[in-house]
Amino acid sequence: MNILLLTSEFAPATGGIGTYSREIASAATDLGADVTVIAPDYAQDTATADRALPFEVRRFRGGLHSMRDLPCKILLARSRVRMERYDVIHAADWPFFIPVALSRGLTQARLLMTVHGTEINETQTPLKRLAIRSAGVFGARTEIVANSGYTRELFRERFAVDAQRINAVQLGVSEFWFGQRNGRAATRAAYGLAPDRLVVVTVARITRRKGHLVTLAALSTLSGELRRRITWLVIGPDGEPDYVDELRRLAATTDCDVRFLGSLPDEQIRDIYGAADFFCLSGVPDGSGRVEGFGLVYLEAAATGLPSVATAIGGVPDAVLADETGLLVPPSVEAVARAIAELAEDTDARSLLAAGASAHAAALSWERCAAETYGLSRSAKRSVENISDGLAVAVKARQPDPTPHPA
């Protein structure tokens, strides 16, 4: 199968769509497809990094998408489609929907378009809807892929498309997150975390919709004894300055140990996951129209054996299975506080949810995602034995350390 994937976001830029494009292209390649990715160059020399990827990357001049870029993307898509015979042409995000739709007369390939969530709301302006309708973007030849059941329903409601034409394919989690990491004790020592500390970790950009203030308020309502036993590690870049300032100011007034670690490499995040007790991300509804289409970070934490405290917004229930891989609660301070207290105080519940989280992450591989998206034959790389071994390691890692530690 020959696949052309066009994306407006890719490394070295960071973001969910860039991750999606890289991982699904890698997985499709592993399944035997020939994949070419078309991505912006961000005015950087990416040749060395691109050569290290298992698929071909062709760069075009550009950066983060602007509507001014649309004519150039239309010409780009049409020229690439003419160059070679493709079996699948895949617009990985909405900036390439119109360009791919306007190229359909040049190819007999299957036309795929992936919707992720937020862009469904962002394309509801009269001008964008007119452009989408005029180009016949969601015509009979277009196959629509949604990254969660929630996103599928949101798209169906906004565009009045028959649900049978929308294939919900959950995202995957990279093998990287199942990989080797530093030992729990060593990582805790490196960050000055005592063996008996309850470590909660959040990984997300510090923005309103990620709900850091909800988590902080929830921690502040816990009993004094429990609150003083918890360390909350906040990992991720700053978002809205006023929100970040308020979070840091309030964190300084609590007697809970709150640490802002900023952006960290994935290797360090993986080590911290292994040293933590559970993951917490209490996203909240966002009036701006941005939504949590899936929640990949929950799966990355789950791959290391971390259960989650999560709020049931958007597509998060696809990433966190209620009472199986974590605690899924309404986006309120009281509900998040109860969930944190439950996981903090019940080690047996943490161990059971850790095992469920690992199994769920193992089942949602990128190989599965690529196979379901493109109709590829799936190999059994992640075997049942490997999954079982991963579960055993994850559960064992969550057990109390029998080695005596100095006070």
pLDDT at 181: 93
pLDDT for residue 109: 97
State residue 66's pLDDT score. Answer: 82
For the four alpha carbons of 285, 286, 290 and 296, in that order, the dihedral sign comes to: negative
| pLDDT given at position 394 | 46
Q: Which residues of 112-139 are buried (b: 16+ CB within 10 A; e: fewer)?
A: bbbbbbbbbeebeeeeeeebbeebebbe
- Residue 227 is predicted with a pLDDT of 93
Q: Which residues of the chain have pLDDT under 50?
A: 380-407
Task: Give one DSSP letter per residue of 50-105, joined into a string.
Answer: HHTSSSEEEEES--S--GGGHHHHHHHHHHHHHHS--SEEEE-SGGGHHHHHTTGG
Domain ranges in the chain?
Answer: 2-168, 175-363
pLDDT for the residue numbered 161? 87
Are the CB atoms for 39 and 73 separated by under 8 Å?
Answer: no
The predicted-structure confidence for 192-209, as pLDDT tens digits, reads as follows: 999 999 999 999 999 999
Please report the beta strands in 169-228, taking only residues with DSSP state E, as ranges in sequence order: 198-203
d(CA 24, CA 8) in angstroms, rounded, equals 15
Contacts of 327 (CB under 8 A, 6+ apart): 307, 308, 309, 310, 339, 342, 343, 353
Residue 3 makes CB contacts below 8 A (sequence gap 6+) with 25, 28, 33, 34, 35, 36, 86, 87, 88, 89, 90, 374
CATH homologous superfamily for the domain 2-168: Glycogen Phosphorylase B; (3.40.50.2000)
pLDDT of residue 38: 97
**Integer Cα distance of 221 and 62 in angstroms:** 48
Pair 55, 75: CB distance under 8 Å = no
SS3 213: helix
User: What pLDDT score was predicted for residue 379?
Assistant: 60
CB of 179 within 8 A of CB of 211? no
Question: How distant is the alpha carbon of residue 118 from its chain centre?
Answer: 13
**Whole-model pTM?**
0.85
pLDDT at 383 (0 to 100): 41
Q: What is the CATH number of domain 175-363?
A: 3.40.50.2000
Between CA 52 and CA 240 the distance in angstroms is 35
Q: Does 2-168 match 175-363 in CATH topology?
A: yes
